[in-house]
Amino acid sequence: MLVDIDADDPRPVFQQIVDEVRRAIAVGQVKPDDPLPAVRRLADDLNVNANTVQHAYRTLEREGVVYVRRGTGTFVSPAAKEAGKERRAAVARQIAGRAMREGFRNGLLASDLIAALQDIAPRSPKPGR
């Protein structure tokens, strides 16, 4: 699983980790019951404090996205698949909203944006590839 942390991102690091795990689930990069990296290993990989990763994992656990097996690790919850679908739809709406605002600022109609998306969609790679 790839987790990217952006030092210029205004979100706290733990929130970036939470969002990256959610994204990985939504795009199918990790599946239900897949293990997440160990806290210390991910902290070392990201060059952050282990408490930051632990905070992110606890947040995900409270949300039901992951579960913890004591002594074994943290795993993606089977319920995360449905949450991932919902998250994917929410992300699509956010991106569409940004596109709509930008289009309106430039004098475009929603129908113009839809036509442009339909025009480029067949040439786009499928998600997760």
CATH architecture of 1-129: Orthogonal Bundle (1.10)
Length of the chain: 129
CB atoms within 10 A of CB 30: 20
What is this structure's pTM?
Answer: 0.66
- Give me the torsion for CA of 94, 126, 116, 105, rounded to 10°: 20
- Per-residue model confidence as pLDDT tens digits over 66-106: 999 999 999 999 887 666 567 677 778 888 888 999 999 99
Query: pLDDT averaged over the chain?
Result: 87
Instruction: Please name the residue that has the structure tokens 């795990």.
Output: 21
Q: Where are the domains of the chain?
A: 1-129
pLDDT digits (tens, 9 = 90+) for 51-69: 999 999 999 999 899 999 9
49 neighbors 43 (Cβ within 8 angstroms) = yes
Q: Which run of H or of E encompasses 35?
A: none
Q: What is the pLDDT of residue 46?
A: 94
